[in-house]
Chain A
Amino acid sequence: MKRPLLYLLISAITLAAIYPILVVIGISLRPAGSLYSTSLALIPAGASLEAYRVVLFEKPFGRWLANSAAVSLLVTIVGVALASTAGYAFSRFRFRGRTVGMAMFLVTQMFPATMLLLPLYVLMRNLGLTDSLPGLAVAYSATALPFCVWTMKGYFDSIPAALEEAALVDGAGRFGTFVRIILPLSAPALAITALFSFMAGWSEFIVARVVLSSQELYTLPLGLESLSNSFQTEWANYSAGAILVSIPVVVVFLMMNRFLVSGLTVGGIKD
């Protein structure tokens, strides 16, 4: 393909891909008077940061943020700790129940959301555990774990066993070898596992909507959705909130851009 044509094509596609994001940014900058705007200008006339001020200081944004951060961190810690050990077991040992265990993790991906959500919800209701952030974090861990275990297992498979055999001969125990030799070599896969676990908590709406009912426990998705409900009055505030919430995720994503390519491809396949 001719160079200029190639650039034109890829620029056009990229523009189309980020257009909705530009729209959100544009709306977040709208001054209070022009919410019913039918202008397609990306930067509205009289652009202001008023919506950001309102979201940050007049809405319980700080509380939503704290709730989301607590849940996501908990899910990340659980996800990384459990997925790396389980992935290691599946990668390095041949034991009874291995194939069944691996298949089980894959099968859980096929459960419709309600399949686990409904019984967990009924259980939590009967135990009085609904409307609690730890309860929410537990539910998220269940959804994040299978993918993370597979990613870790796939990555461990690509690390030559000879590396740890040397350490084992030198008398380091299995666990010591795992922590000191294998984990440091697995940075890309650990990064992806951490990212996926974190995102499972940070960006989830459907489960949170069912589990949480009191406003003080709202996570960011629930809070933002409550802003988006009243289309006319709060759309600029919602957009400002959406931008604020997306920035950290996008930054992390872009930082891990490099890892994503290698991590995801190794994740599913064995060499």
Chain B
Amino acid sequence: MNGSSERSLPYLFLGPALLVMLLVVVYPFGYNIWISLTNMNLYHLRDPTFLGFEHYRNILGEPELVAVFIKTVLWTVVNIFFHVTIGTALALLLNQEIRGRSVFRALLILPWAMPQYITALTWRGMFNFEYGQVNLILTEWFGFEAIPWFGSETWAFTAAILTNIWLGFPFMMIVALGGLQSIPEEMYEAARIDGAGRWQRMREITLPLLRPVMVPAILLGTIWTFNNLNVIWLVTNGGEPADKSHILVSQVYKAAFTYYRYGYAAAFSMVIFLILLVLVIVYMRQTRATERVY
């Protein structure tokens, strides 16, 4: 094989994927930027006029933006915290010699295996005030008052978070299980011989060796959760009550496809993307995740 064909080889392998990405990612990305600088909406779909940065100025000037941003961060942090702690704890439990381990493992990944929209719609039904199982359990078993889940901003947001916690822990569990299985048994034996107790083995061996697996998974989980539209949209039925339960991504989806404010939504998408990009870069710096990811 001669030199020139060897040099073009990687591009031949990459070509098809690159072509698709250019067509459905890079080009729309550029087009999105252009839309964000115009007044495009349902009435000006084909004849938008150029506005410049007006949408960006408006978005950054909205007092609401900060509140929704804080709510999005809260949504992400709470979800990831529970995904990781529940997932890791279950992985540690499952990693022991217990009978029926594979059955437990199979059952525990079911929440992840179910299509997300079904999960979300099902939980929405379970949060129904009169007939939902959540309120029935609260009132009949524990004697609490029924909670008006979609009557207030806080409860609706809580409902969405509970749903998403349920939905997301199996992913972290599977990743943690993989990490645990790659820790050589000899390390524990050596530590045992040196007289390390259970807790010490956990702190000195298990957790540090889990870290390289968990760091990229947490990064990916954070990105997915920050932008998770499905759950919040379907559980709160598009922002109930009165568009108060939105996170950034559901707010922009509503602006685009319910209110047809295309230019505004395109600019808002850019703002969300840039916020997330900054957060991810900070996270990567802090954890040096790139060294592992690359």
Binding site for B on A (CB under 8 A): 3, 6-7, 9-10, 13-14, 17-18, 20-21, 23-24, 27, 36-38, 40, 78, 81-83, 85-86, 88-90, 92-93, 95, 98-99, 101-102, 104-120, 122-123, 125-126, 138-139, 141-142, 145, 149, 173-174, 178, 199, 202-206, 209-210, 221, 224-225, 228, 231, 235, 238-239, 242, 245-246, 249-250, 253-254, 257, 260-262, 264-265, 268-270
* A interface secondary structure, majority: helix
A40 and B293: CB pair below 8 A?
no
Given known contacts A119-B28, A262-B178, A95 and B107 CB-to-CB distance under 8 angstroms: no
**Cα distance A264–B217 when bound, in Å?**
9
The answer for the CA separation of A142 and B26 in the assembled complex, in Å, is 10
Q: Which residues of A contact B253 (CB under 8 A)?
A: 113-114, 206
- Taking CB atoms, residues of chain B closer than 8 Å to A90 are 14
Among B11, B118, B292, point to the contact of A95 (Cβ < 8 A). Answer: B11
CA distance A209 to B258 in the complex (A): 11
Q: Which of B18-51 contact A (CB under 8 A)?
A: 18, 20-21, 23-26, 28-29, 31-32, 35, 40, 45-46
Contact for A122 among B45, B90, B213, CB less than 8 A: B45
In the complex, which of the residues B96, B122, B181 contacts A23, with contact meaning CB atoms closer than 8 Å?
B122
Residue B177 at the chain A interface, CB threshold 8 Å: yes
A37 to B105, CA, bound (A): 32
Nearest chain A CB to B18 CB, angstrom units: 7
Closest 4 CB pairs between A and B?
A: A265-B178, A203-B115, A86-B17, A93-B10
List of A residues within 8 angstroms of B137 by Cβ: 40
Min C-beta distance of A129 to chain B, whole Å: 12
Are A85 and B111 in contact, with the CB atoms below 8 A? no
Max chain B CB contacts within 10 Å: which of A225, A257, A262, A269?
Answer: A269
Q: Could you say which residues of chain B place their CB within 8 Å of the CB of A209?
A: 257
Taking CB atoms, residues of chain A closer than 8 Å to B93 are 6, 9-10
A89 touches B266 (CB 8 A): no
A7 nearest CB across to chain B (Å)? 7
Let me know if B245 is at the binding interface, CB within 8 A: no
A206–B230 CB distance below 8 A: yes
A81 touches B114 (CB 8 A): no
**Contact size class for B?**
35 or more
Cβ of A99: which chain B residues have Cβ within 8 Å of it? 294
One of A138, A174, A228, A257 near B24 (C-beta < 8 A): A138
Give the Cβ gap from A268 to chain B, nearest Cβ, in Å.
4
- Centre residue among B11, B121, B217 by max chain A CB count within 10 A: B121
Q: Enumerate chain B residues within 8 angstroms of A246, measured Cβ to Cβ.
A: 113-115, 118
* Chain B residues positioned under 8 Å from A21 (CB to CB): 110-111, 114
Within 8 A of A (CB), among B237-283: 248-249, 252-253, 256-257, 262, 265-266, 268-270, 272-273, 276-277, 280
Please indicate which of the listed interface residues A101, A102, A119, A149 has the most CB atoms of chain B within 10 Å of its own CB: A119
Docked pose: A221 CA to B114 CA in angstroms: 12
A118 lies within 8 A of B262 (CB): yes
B294 close to A254 (CB less than 8 A)? no
**A115 interface neighbour in B40, B98, B140, B269, Cβ under 8 Å:** B269
A265 to B40, CA, bound (A): 44
- Chain B's nearest CB lies how many Å from the CB of A157? 10
B125-145 Cβ-contact flags toward A at 8 Å (1 or 0): 110101101001100100000
Contact of A38 among B136, B174, B249 (CB under 8 A): B136
Could you name 13 residue pairs across A and B whose Cβ atoms are closer than 8 Å? A10-B104, A20-B122, A21-B114, A88-B13, A118-B265, A122-B262, A123-B31, A126-B46, A205-B117, A228-B125, A235-B125, A261-B177, A268-B217
